[in-house]
Amino acid sequence: MKLGRTIDEFEIGMQAEFYHTFSQKETELMADLIGDHNPFHYEGEFISKTRFKKPIVHGLLVGGMISHFGGDLFPGPCCLAETISFKFLKPVYFGDTIRAVATITKVDKDLKRLAFSMICYNNEGDEVCEGHATCIPYQIEVDG
């Protein structure tokens, strides 16, 4: 059985998308995993006095949606991340459902590398995060 895809299976302009609703629990787990307990992510007097007024989701959780494309959806299993960058445009709040759309922007058959962009939209259709990644797709024969 073959797992993964070869560079020849991709074309510029190919797209994929998925949705995710972020919870307070996910942000708390992320805070514990990475040690970032910034008060921007918690209820309290601090956040109520900021321009956000209520806790916001960890940016790494939102930007990290790009990893789901590369590793699971598109390009998919057996794709190894080489570079990832993202920019936060608007806050994401607990309970927001984010639509992430990825588009292949470059296929380098000589170096066997893909580049793709990601744009994340909130419930109102506003862009909240944009990202870019390069990855190396592999196809491997496995038993099974």
The domain limits of the chain are 2-22+57-138
Return d(Cα 46, Cα 138) in angstroms, integer.
Answer: 47
| Band of pLDDT at residue 97, cut at 50, 70 and 90 | very high
| Band of pLDDT at residue 77, cut at 50, 70 and 90 | confident
Q: Which CATH number fits domain 2-22+57-138: 3.10.129.10, 3.40.50.720, 1.20.120.1200, 3.30.70.20?
A: 3.10.129.10
pLDDT of residue 41: 93
Omega before residue 75 within 30° of 0, cis: yes
Average pLDDT over residues 1-9: 87
How does the average pLDDT of the chain come out, rounded? 92
pLDDT above 90: residue 138: no
